[in-house]
Amino acid sequence: MSNDNLNRTLTGRVISNKTSKTVTVLVERKVKHPLYGKIISRSKKYHAHDEKNEYEMGDAVIIEECRPLSRTKAWRVIKLLSKSTLV
């Protein structure tokens, strides 16, 4: 059995860190409309595991798919790309 599915990664921005050991990450992607050809933005929120509660709102992070950790959480934060510029 290959582990290709387990290594899916996404890049997004932390939009909430209110829950313990969990951050909500907003992942945006650009897609072309099938009929009109206009580039439109699609977004989706993922709950990701943050063991040490170290990520703040606005941080850009990379999340990786893992085994289900709770009912809504099957991703974990693996890397911080840039700190928040919010004051």
SS3 of residue 3 by DSSP: coil
Predicted local distance difference test score (pLDDT) of residue 85: 78
Is the pLDDT score of 6 beyond 70?
Answer: no
Q: Is residue 87 part of a domain?
A: no
Q: Say whether 70 sits in a helix, a strand or coil.
A: coil
Could you tell me the pTM of the whole model?
0.85
- Residue 49: inside a domain, yes or no? yes
pLDDT over 60 (residue 22):
yes
Q: Compute the distance between CA of residue 1 and CA of residue 63 in angstroms, rounded to an integer.
A: 23
- Express each pLDDT in 48-65 by its tens digit: 999 999 999 999 999 999
Distance (Å, whole) CA 30 – CA 35:
15
Tell me, yes or no, whether 60 lies in a domain. yes
Q: How many domains does the chain have?
A: 1
Domain enclosing residue 51, as ranges = 5-82
| Pairwise CA distance, residues 4 & 26, whole Å | 23
Supply the CATH number for residue 73's domain: 2.40.50.140
